[in-house]
Amino acid sequence: MNTGLVVLAVAILIGAVAFAWVLLRRDGSGGRQRMDQLVAAQQALVGQLAMLTEQQATSSSATAKAVQESSERLTKAMNERLEQVQDRVGNSLQKSSKETAESLATMTERLAAIDKAQENITKLSTEVVGLQHILDDKQARGAFGEVQLEAIVEDALPKTAYEFQCVLSNGKRADCLIKLPNPPGSVVVDAKFPLTAYRQMLDAGDDSVRATAARQLKKDVLTHIRAIADKYIVSGQTADSALMFLPSEAVYAELHAHHADVIEASYRARVYIVSPTTMMATLTTVRAVLRGAEMRKQAAVIQTEVGTMLGDVSRLSDRVTKLRTHFDLANRDIDQIETSAGRVQTRGTRIHELDLGAPDGEALPSSHEPLELPIQPVPDD
């Protein structure tokens, strides 16, 4: 083996080690340690090859042959090491590729879920904006309150206990009339939604604007209270109180938290403000009142039926007494029959015990002559 071939083999080995080092950079700290070992081995190999090259130039042919054999063994060992490194690098790359693919698949699923959630949020935001635009209109707010009121009443009461859009004797149309027995009588529920001033109060940038909006909210609610008291409390037809339904828990809480004078004014006018939650509680009480009235009505029916049943029992007792009289008469008749039967049996026994033989020297009477028997009368019992 000449010097040119040795130099070429060393160059090829150096290139292979450099390529393996590039591939092993992804294998972590363990790969770097193995690469350092390979680099050290390469340097040692280069040094040995250089020494061999120098010795080849100055030694004999036998020494050159030994150097060639040693170079071949070193080359074989280096090839085996490089093959092992390539196998490890390939396995590591395959494992990394698989893990990367799984991570990308998981990330793709999560991104799809995030995109769907984003679409739902966008859709919900659009619906909320649409609802805000709907509630900006006064008539639409009124319709919204009426629909919510109808849903609550229909869920809580039987159909015979309420009437929607009922026209009263004064010509006013009530959103809902809850039919209760006297007292207290039917109660009118009217839906109101003072939202404009409440929104202005929430959106106010300073205290003065907020105070102005709060005063407007108080004014609107007091106006509704007076209107309900004038229109829907009718003597002789309704109870002496009415309900104002606010379809917003927030507005209801604002009134009770910061406008106690409005609540007191509603009490004086006998117009009680209710929210969806308190309306449900009120209807639960109404349902209990209706159940009590129905029970009282059924109790009257039961009392009437019990009175009728007592009359039937009295007649039955009379008939039993009459039947017992008949049984007593039958028992006396049976006793008399038994007495007569006993007498007949006694007389028959006496007849049977008579001695009918003829005395000596006397002839028996012929059959044509009547036979007189000495029968003693049996006294009546």
Indicate the average pLDDT of the chain: 76
Number of Cβ within 10 Å of residue 76's Cβ equals 10
Q: Which residue has the higher pLDDT, 364 or 309?
A: 309
Reported residue count of the chain is: 381
The pLDDT-based confidence of 372 (bands split at 50, 70, 90) is very low
- The CA distance from 213 to 207, in Å, is 10
| CB-neighbour burial class of residue 25 (10 A; exposed 0-12, middle 13-18, buried 19+) | exposed
Amino acid at 163: E
- Determine the pLDDT at residue 89: 76
Condensed to tens digits (0 to 9), the pLDDT of residues 197-210 reads: 888 887 777 888 88
- Residue 361 pLDDT greater than 60, yes or no: no
- The CA distance from 292 to 296, in Å, is 6
Number of Cβ within 10 Å of residue 277's Cβ equals 11
- Residue 374 pLDDT greater than 60, yes or no: no
- Residue 159 pLDDT greater than 80, yes or no: yes
* Residues above pLDDT 90, as percent of the chain: 6
- The CA distance from 9 to 146, in Å, is 95
- Determine the pLDDT at residue 38: 62
Cα 13–chain centre separation: 74
- Residue 180 pLDDT greater than 60, yes or no: yes
Amino acid at 34: R
Which of 174, 273, 274, 165 has the alpha carbon at shortest distance from 230?
174
Q: By the 8 A CB rule, do 199 and 188 touch?
A: no
- Determine the pLDDT at residue 20: 58
- The CA distance from 46 to 11, in Å, is 10
DSSP letter, residue 171: S
Average pLDDT in the 3-15 region?
Answer: 59
- Determine the pLDDT at residue 264: 92
Condensed to tens digits (0 to 9), the pLDDT of residues 187-238 reads: 899 988 887 788 888 777 788 888 888 888 889 899 999 999 989 888 888 8
Phi, psi of 243 (to 5 degrees): -120, 140
Q: By the 8 A CB rule, do 144 and 247 touch?
A: yes
Residue 127 token pair = 């619906």
- The CA distance from 56 to 53, in Å, is 5
Gyration radius (Cα) of the chain, Å? 61
Number of Cβ within 10 Å of residue 204's Cβ equals 15
Which residue in the block uniquely carries the two structure tokens 């639409």?
140
Condensed to tens digits (0 to 9), the pLDDT of residues 246-255 reads: 888 888 888 8
Which of 3.40.1350, 3.40.50, 1.10.10, 3.30.390 is the CATH number of 138-294? Answer: 3.40.1350
Residue 189, SS3?
Answer: strand
- Determine the pLDDT at residue 348: 82
- The CA distance from 164 to 178, in Å, is 9
Amino acid at 257: A
- The CA distance from 272 to 294, in Å, is 26
